[in-house]
Amino acid sequence: MSMKLDPNIFRAYDIRGTVGESITPETVSTIARGYGTLLARGGEPTVVLGRDLRPSSEELSAAAAEALRQTGCNVIDLGQVPIPLVYFAAGRWGCDGGVGITASHKPVQFNGMKLRQGDAPYYGEQLQDLYDFCEAGEFAEGAGSYSERDVFDEYFETVQPKFTGDCGLRICLDPGNGCGTFTAPRILAEMGCELDVIFDEPDGTFPNRSPDPLEPGALVALAERVVATGADLGMAIDADGDRLAVVDHEGTMIYPDKYVLPVCGAMLAKGPQTFVSEVRCSQTTIDYVRERGGDVALASCGYPYILAEMGRLGAPLGFETTGHVFFADPDVKYDDAAFCAAQMAEALGGLGETLREVIDSAPAYYTSEELRLECPDDVKQQIVADVIEQFRADHEMNDVDGARISFEGGWGLIRASNTGEELVMRFEGNTEAARDRIAEDVTSAVQDAMSAHGIG
């Protein structure tokens, strides 16, 4: 009989909880046995395994390796790596699955698992089905093999030739003591960037800043260093190496849906392209791309939806407002902060403009922070539908994920959260007054809909 699992650790895109409570070696072992059993239905699967730098990750990884092996999986252990290299190895080596032991950008007291099926994401209903299967406890018995293998040489040999060696940008890089320190400094240095690296000592307690570089205050040291050294820009990477944050030469944070502008511009210089983002994307980016003959398709929030839409449209680039950026590259078709940093550096070097100059060349919009309202799961979708009906008659809207409602001078977004009992709103206008007017109109409609359902 399997142990009882906390269903709340099975999230939309990964498995994550508090170490010593909902995440223990026994938890990971049970989940790995369930995952391995499902994979083993196709024969004798090979699973690549890697872990981040958290102190708890080594023990959890060992538990996963043994559990996978007991179900008949052949395990290839990469050791400590950026989690994107688990994806790289799974695809490169033709593996049946991949397991990354990480809590991504969460603080050190958290840990968890990111899973792959082949080189594709394992998410959503797959994770919920995995939870149900683990609860049933009907696991396969086998005797798979265990081996250790280095992936770094093959990764660098594959990635480095994709970039020229004459970038010349002065970049201040902050890996935040996380896994990105194993890849990003070398890639950028071999491109010809002049690097100043801070917080590069691997340390999974993250002593110098939050493991989430987009968290308020996380970029203070980087911004100060950029200004003090006269660097062209600063880049910061999250704990497991898949998200990138950026500051310009003035130390100002540039949000992810805007720091991709140089990459968009470089791609559009070669001809019309359609890129993919999600419904929170700034109109600044959309207008910039359209002015240069391209377009931006908006998908639902969440990386699997970005990837699916990229595949459908043949898009060369996809990006989220959360710092996950994807390229239609045959070898790096996943979110890899080091690869994204290199793409951005090469694009900026080729354009011959600073990041600030590129941003300032785009139409200006004023974006609100996200507003989140508590709302029960059983009614949140209906409330979104009620708000859509209030505006549908006289407003254009994109309703792929909630509704991005067009107003004169901007837009307002209302959607149900994928990960919590919340409604999520965001507003943008070409003036601060337009943004605030849109926010008032949409918020009022949401409050009316919530009141109609007895939610105060």
Q: What is the pLDDT of residue 2?
A: 64
Burial class (CB in 10 A: 0-12, 13-18, 19+), 187: buried
**What is the pLDDT, as a whole number, of residue 387?**
96
For the chain, the maximum distance between any two Cα atoms, rounded to a whole number of angstroms, is 66
Model confidence at 43, in pLDDT bands (50, 70, 90)? Answer: confident
Q: d(Cα 34, Cα 136) in Å, to the nearest integer? A: 9
Q: In which band, very low, low, confident or very high, does the pLDDT at 179 lie, cut at 50, 70 and 90?
A: very high
What is the CATH code for 366-452?
Answer: 3.30.310.50
* Number of Cβ atoms within 10 Å of the Cβ of 454: 7
Tens digits of per-residue pLDDT, 299-309? Answer: 999 899 999 99
Question: Does the fold of domain 366-452 match that of domain 7-152?
Answer: no
**Residues marked as catalytic:** 16, 104, 324
Arithmetic mean of pLDDT, 64-72: 98
pLDDT at 42: 73
Give the position of tokens 């290839």: 76
Question: What would be the CATH architecture of the domain defined by 7-152?
Answer: 3-Layer(aba) Sandwich (3.40)
pTM, two decimals, is 0.95
What CATH homologous superfamily does 167-360 map to?
A: Alpha-D-Glucose-1,6-Bisphosphate, subunit A, domain 3 (3.40.120.10)
Domain ranges in the chain?
A: 7-152, 167-360, 366-452
Q: What's residue 166's pLDDT?
A: 87
pLDDT in tens, 346-402: 999 988 899 999 999 999 999 999 999 999 989 999 999 999 999 999 999 999 999
Relative to beta strand 397-398, strand 97-101 is unpaired
Q: Taking 80 as the threshold, does the pLDDT of residue 283 lie above it?
A: yes
